[in-house]
């Protein structure tokens, strides 16, 4: 299935080859490129060994093109990117900024349906998601 990811700020393509590319920053404000797998639920990531962070550390995820840091509007612990699938349908994707935390949400703009994935996704079940979306929240 062909899909791609774009930055919500500049609409630039942040998926190149097989990975989504971010400029990440750890809590010491050190920067490094962080590559995330585009399949939702796959938490594989690639980075240079010189860029270090610990499990539980909150990272900043910034667009490598426009340098905007991609924080969700409703919960600053979540990153927001846009996925476009092969039918040109756009989805809002949110995932945790906390290293090691596996929480991803895929929200379809048209139907307002929410798909949550990851063993820690329950942590955000009651976050400030609008009520009309919460009722669609379900485990896939």
Which residues make up the interface to Zn ion (CB under 5 A)? 7, 9-10, 12, 63, 65-66
DSSP conformation class of 98: B
Instruction: Give the nearer residue to Zn ion in terms of CB position, either 6 or 115.
Output: 6
Instruction: Give the nearer residue to Zn ion in terms of CB position, either 9 or 90.
Output: 9
State residue 5 phi and psi, 5-degree precision.
Answer: -120, 140
CA distances from 113 to 22, 59, 83, 121 (A): 26, 27, 15, 16
Instruction: Give the nearer residue to Zn ion in terms of CB position, either 7 or 114.
Output: 7
Least spacing, CB of residue 13 vs Zn ion, in Å: 10
Least spacing, CB of residue 136 vs Zn ion, in Å: 28
CA distances from 69 to 17, 28, 78 (A): 22, 16, 11
Task: State how far the Cα of 124 lies from the Cα of 76, in Å rounded to an integer.
Answer: 12
Instruction: Give the nearer residue to Zn ion in terms of CB position, either 65 or 133.
Output: 65
Least spacing, CB of residue 65 vs Zn ion, in Å: 5
């Amino acid at each position: 299935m062909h899909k791609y990811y774009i930055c919500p700020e500049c609409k630039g393509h942040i998926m190149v080859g097989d990975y989504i590319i971010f400029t990440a920053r750890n809590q010491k404000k050190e920067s490094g490129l962080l590559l995330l797998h585009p399949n939702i639920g796959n938490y594989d990531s690639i980075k240079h060994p010189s860029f270090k962070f610990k499990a539980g550390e909150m990272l900043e995820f910034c667009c490598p093109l426009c340098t905007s840091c991609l924080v969700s509007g409703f919960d600053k612990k979540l990153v927001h990117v846009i996925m476009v699938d092969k039918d040109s349908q756009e989805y809002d994707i949110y995932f945790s900024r906390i290293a090691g935390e596996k929480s991803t949400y895929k929200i379809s703009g048209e139907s307002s349906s929410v798909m949550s994935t990851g063993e820690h996704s329950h942590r955000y079940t009651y976050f400030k998601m609008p009520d009309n979306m919460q009722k669609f929240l379900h485990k896939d």
